[in-house]
Amino acid sequence: MSAKSDDAQENARELRCRVLVAGVGGGGGNVLGHALAGWDEPPTVAAINTDVRALDATAIGLKVAIGRTVAKGMGTGGDAELGRLAANEDLDALRALVSGHDLLLLVAGLGGGTATGAAPVLARIAREEGLLVLAYVTLPFAFEGARRQEQAQEGLADLKQSADAVVCLPNQRLHALLPPDTSLPDAFAFVDRMMSAGIRGLWTLLARDNMLNLDFSDLQSLVENSGNECCFGYGEGQGPGKAEQALRGLLEGPMLEKGRVIANSGAMILSVTGGPDLSLAELETIHRRFQEAARPGARISMGAAVLDGWTGRLALTVLAAEHWIPPPKPGTLLMEAGPDAPAEEPAGRRRKNVQQSELQLGGANDRGRFRDVAPTIVEGADLDVPVFIRRGIRIPS
């Protein structure tokens, strides 16, 4: 570990939520390399790869080479199985990397061997170590070939099981944002930029003292009840009317399917990044517009950060859960966005043991042993809930 990353880790520890950002494989490393370029006080960022040369080339300080025996430092040649074996070979190193953090933002370009095989292993290890795991992934463009697509789908399914939630960046939707004559390197760079903006938006809100902080528990609640899938959107605005511009880009743009994703989502997190000129009126407008666009009763959490050098500029990042299942005790996790909202320190930084907390809730969760798998809904009924409960039959009689 280099001296630089030691410092970064120290910094992160003093802040409110200890975030680890890890790029797995070549694609993940590229995204983070891009992100780091514009980052003044970066969180702990690590690059994990089977390819030693790619690791040497990256600007990321903390490098973890995996699978030196199975991959011999030369990458996986696109074989996800090799990626998985490589991660399994270095479980201890991965465990050491994640321990001491609260949140893992895992970044991977699915389709490649290392990303597809190793990312789910890293996610599983991190969850075992008590971290909340949010994975930001891209899927290959269609022209990258069927095999890569197929492998990416397998990796996605895998990652959904091992991470708390996966934010999948749909390339088709991104495509629509680009002019048709965009060159290939520009298209890749654009995806990287979107991804890094999303990660940066979230991290800024969690790890710094901000104008309007986002509670780790808000993110935790969103992610853990998201049905393992979140959607992500990004919009930017400049000059007067910058909030409107960012809102329009987001709500009418293709990333959130012209607002359809927002209308469907049961919960979402908005993060606003702006300069010292960011006004309360702008925040109120943003909040109101999302409230109008979302379905009634949707939980909207909002945070805002003011950064130097962002004068006249505003960025809006949304994390939305379309398959939101409300947690057993509603109400407590809702954070009203507004100028007076208290920026409280979360009571417990460490992630609670989910299983235990749910058992203590007793009758609140009727799904019992099926609480952590997708429900079986037939004709509107959740078949995992005991029949006698659904029919209102008292047992013991």
Q: Which residues bind another protein (CB under 8 A)?
A: 81, 153-154, 156-158, 161, 366, 368-370, 372-373, 376, 378, 383-384, 386-389, 391, 393, 395-397
Residues 6+ apart with CB under 8 A from 303: 205, 210, 212, 213, 214, 269, 270, 271, 272
Structure tokens at 67: 């699978």
Half-sphere exposure of 120 (CA within 13 A, CB side): 22
- What's the min distance (Å) between Cβ of 144 and another protein? 17
Q: 3-class DSSP state for residue 358?
A: helix
**Beta carbon of residue 312, minimum distance to another protein (angstroms, whole number):** 43
Helix runs in the chain, H state only: 3-14, 25-37, 52-57, 80-89, 91-98, 113-128, 146-162, 171-175, 184-207, 216-224, 242-251, 260-264, 280-293, 354-360, 387-390
Whether the Cβ atoms of residue 122 and residue 83 lie closer than 8 Å to each other: no
Contact 326/225 with Cβ under 8 angstroms?
yes
Find the shortest distance in angstroms from Cβ 238 to another protein: 38
Residue 227: CB minimum distance to another protein, A: 15
Closer Cβ to another protein, 3 or 378, answer by number? 378
Q: Which is nearer to another protein, 334 or 377 (CB)?
A: 377
Rounded to the nearest whole angstrom, what is the least distance from the CB of residue 257 to another protein in the complex?
16
Q: Residue 176 or residue 374: which is nearer to another protein going by CB?
A: 374
Query: Nearer Cβ to another protein, position 24 or 121?
Result: 121
- Closest approach, Cβ 89 to another protein, in A, equals 14
CA distance 168 to 159: 11
Which of 126, 5, 113 is CA-nearest to residue 49? 113
Residue closer to another protein (CB basis): 161 or 279: 161
122-141 b/e (C-beta count within 10 Å ≥ 16 → b): bbbbbbebebbbbbbbbbbb
Shortest distance, position 134 Cβ to another protein, whole Å: 20
Angle between helices 184-207 and 25-37 (to 10 degrees): 70
Closer Cβ to another protein, 144 or 384, answer by number? 384
Tell me whether residue 151 or residue 204 sits nearer to another protein (CB atom): 151
> Is 59 or 374 the residue whose CB approaches another protein more closely?
374
Q: How far is the CB of 369 from another protein (least distance, A)?
A: 5
Cα 207 from Cα 14, distance rounded (Å): 9
Of the chain, the end-to-end C-alpha distance in Å amounts to: 63
One-letter amino acid for residue 90 of the chain: D
Give whichever of 57 and 383 is closer to another protein, judged by the CB atom.
383
Q: Are 367 and 384 in contact (CB under 8 A)?
A: yes
